[in-house]
Amino acid sequence: MRLKILVLAVGLVFLSMNAAAQSSAAPPVAQQQPTPPKPPQDLFAQVPAPKPEDVKSIDSILAALYNVISGPAGDRDWNRFRSLFVPSATLTSAGKDREGNIRVRPRSVEDYVKGAGSYFSQHAFFESPIVNRVQTFGNIAHVLSSYESRNVASEAPIARGINSFELAFDGKRWWIVSILWDEERPDNPLPQELVAKPGSK
């Protein structure tokens, strides 16, 4: 009988020691401090500072876009390019491939920088607007901008098409929110009102 009591006493001591060890290893739920949420990241703060003259008006930001991607083979000023866009901007082509399939290909600003940067480093490329048709409402603007693309600035264009711009004004400057474009083809000619600048022959 005494042996049973002794064994029972030792078991109770072991259980109490184990419970104490567990309680000291993990603080009570009420005492655990939750990890505070991280403040939202200000993506606009990461956009390179623009040239003030590039973003002061709709005309100026369009001119800056065409200017920065145009030039002889070599690097472009990609920070200037980045400075024109909101952080989540998209650049999307919507044309036909060689097999006649329509391909809609959205890109981020960085996707465009990587893809076009690789091409421009080896090839001259010049793109200029023909006609910009601007519609505005409050702090937003939509622009259909017909364009000509050239390999040599002084030669005939190798392609024409339309860039569709969505723009926004934040009270201080204009931003490009998106660009969507398609090229001219025999079955997809430029509309007459976007073929030539008003007053030109």
Instruction: Read off φ and ψ for residue 55, nearest 5 degrees.
Output: -120, 15
Q: How far apart are CA 151 and CA 127, in angstroms?
A: 9
Element (H, E) at 189: none
Q: Give domain status of residue 23, yes or no.
A: no
pLDDT of 14 over the 70 cut: no
The per-residue pLDDT for 29 is 53
The per-residue pLDDT for 33 is 72
pLDDT tier at 36, thresholds 50, 70, 90? confident
Is the whole model's pTM more than 0.85, yes or no? no
The CATH number of whichever domain residue 125 belongs to comes to 3.10.450.50
The per-residue pLDDT for 28 is 55
pLDDT of 153 over the 90 cut: yes
Lowest-pLDDT choice from 9-23, 85-99, 116-130, 186-200: 9-23
Q: Give domain status of residue 169, yes or no.
A: yes
Number of domains comprising the chain: 1
pLDDT of 173 over the 70 cut: yes
pLDDT of 9 over the 50 cut: no
Domain that holds residue 79: 49-186
Question: Is the distance from CB of 73 to CB of 121 less than 8 angstroms?
Answer: yes
DSSP 52-114: GGGSSSHHHHHHHHHHHH-BSSS---HHHHHTTEEEEEEEEEEEE-TTS-EEEEEEEHHHHHH
Q: Give domain status of residue 8, yes or no.
A: no
The per-residue pLDDT for 98 is 84
Q: Give domain status of residue 101, yes or no.
A: yes
Six-digit token pair at 136? 């505005």
Q: Give domain status of residue 22, yes or no.
A: no
Q: Give domain status of residue 25, yes or no.
A: no
pLDDT tier at 107, thresholds 50, 70, 90? very high
The per-residue pLDDT for 3 is 39
Q: Give domain status of residue 61, yes or no.
A: yes
Nearest CA among 9, 108, 2, 124 for reference residue 75: 124
Q: Give domain status of residue 194, yes or no.
A: no
Element (H, E) at 148: strand 140-150
